[in-house]
Amino acid sequence: MRSTRLSLLTLAGLAACGRGGPRTPPQVPVVAAKVVAQDIPFEIEANGTVEPLQTAAVEPQVTGIVTQVAFREGDEVAAGHLLFQIDPRPFQAAVDQARAALHRDSAQAEQARRDADRYAELVRQDYVTQQQYEQQRATATALTATVRADSAALETAVLNLDYASVRAPIAGRTGSLLVRAGNLVLANSPTPLVVINQIEPILVRFAIPQTALPQIQRYHTGTLPVVVGTTATDTTDVGQLSFVDNAVDTVTGTVLLKGRFPNARHQLWPGEFVTVRLRLYVEPHAIVVPSAAVTAGQSGPFVFVVNADATVSLRPVIVERTLGALTVVRDGVKPGETVVTDGQLRLAAGSHVSVTAAAPSDSAVAGDDR
């Protein structure tokens, strides 16, 4: 009986020792990615507005009835394309009248010049008085001036006839049609007949803080790429910086810039709001981590680095800049190391982890648009 009790106590002791022995710490599932070194562009981000390269408000130069509208709303038109035809008959009649007056007065002026020449010969022979000669010469001079006035009147009449055919002053896309055939239009009316916007190429206007102006002046020795993104279509387009304003806006403390884009596919539309990235230079072999790996702490930003024994170390980092989904790190990690990109809230220094999925190292930088 006594030996049985001792055996039971021994077994209980062994079981207790087994329960209190060393355990394998639990592993926290995380997502991780490699630290890489790659070329990263330095960009200034801003919000911009698309505006046409040129805008022309087509207005009538003469008064008359519109007899023809030679385009449809939204058509692409070339410079010189006929848009509206105003009734040309009154202007053609004015041309004919001015031409006839010119011919009449030219004939009279020619006759007066010949008479003045004859009077010059007669006055030398004392057949006419000096006063008669001077009067005849004045008549010839006056008729010559009348001919010049008739010529100017004819040119004006021809010009008005030409204005009766309203043509596109620039190439571009037409807007809403504001008049129809049969409408009376007035010369120099404040309301245009149609507005034409040149959208190929096109401009994007944006402003940057004045603190970034020295960098732009430093690198604006050649052509600087400008990348725009549209939220509506989730597409990007690449152009070139074409304009830097010559003064800082004292109210906003910004400088106005413009980028020029080919816009061959008409992705950009006047009045559209876009995101703008002005690329100043490309930093070679920058140390890059996914932005999701960087956590803000009381002592500054840090990352969790996955060690070879499946534990993690808390590593402070010095962030140089952020570019979309990537962050450029100046110090703290090295290329080839693995950092946690998801699951940091459950980690502490020394935690055991299991990498459930490796986040792809995004080598296609947000600014590397092709």
Q: Mind spelling out the 3-state secondary structure of 152-192?
A: HHHHHHHHHHHHCEEECCCCEEECCCCCCCCCEECCCCCCC
**Does the bond joining 270 to the residue before it have cis omega, within 30 degrees of 0?**
no
Strand segments (E) across 95-171: 165-167
**Per-residue pLDDT at 369:** 54
Element housing 109 (H / E): helix 89-124
Please say whether the beta carbons of 326 and 367 come within 8 A.
no
Structure tokens at 70: 């030679």
Distance of alpha carbon 224 from alpha carbon 240, whole angstroms: 6
Whether 210 has a pLDDT exceeding 90, the answer reads yes
pLDDT of 298-324, one tens digit each? 889 999 999 989 999 999 999 988 887
Residue 249 bridge partners (DSSP): 254
In angstroms, the CA 311 to CA 26 distance is 11
Rounded average pLDDT over 98-104? 94
Stated pTM of the model: 0.70
The token pair at 173 is 């896309």
Q: pLDDT of 235-245, one tens digit each?
A: 788 999 999 99
Cα separation, 226 vs 369, in Å, equals 10
Residue spans of the domains in the chain: they are: 27-40+284-358, 44-54+198-283, 60-85+166-191, 88-163
| pLDDT at position 116 | 78
CATH superfamily of 44-54+198-283: Efflux pump adaptor protein, beta barrel domain (2.40.30.170)
d(CA 94, CA 243): 48
- Give the per-residue pLDDT at 14: 45
Which band of pLDDT confidence, cut at 50, 70 and 90, is reported for residue 218?
confident
CA distance 118 to 132: 11
CATH topology of domain 88-163: Helix Hairpins (1.10.287)
**Binning pLDDT at 50, 70 and 90, where does residue 359 land?**
low
The arrangement of secondary structure in 27-40+284-358, i.e. its CATH architecture, is Beta Barrel (2.40)
Find the mean pLDDT for residues 291-302: 92
In CATH terms, the fold of domain 60-85+166-191 is OB fold (Dihydrolipoamide Acetyltransferase, E2P) (2.40.50)
Who's near 259: CB < 8 A, 6+ residues apart? 48, 203, 204, 206, 226, 228, 239, 240, 241, 242, 276, 278
Q: What confidence tier does 221 reach under pLDDT thresholds 50, 70, 90? A: confident
Please state, in angstroms and rounded to a whole number, the distance separating the CA atoms of residues 295 and 314: 10
Confidence of residue 11 (pLDDT cuts 50, 70, 90): very low
What is the residue-averaged pLDDT of the chain? Answer: 86
Give percent above pLDDT 70 in the chain.
89
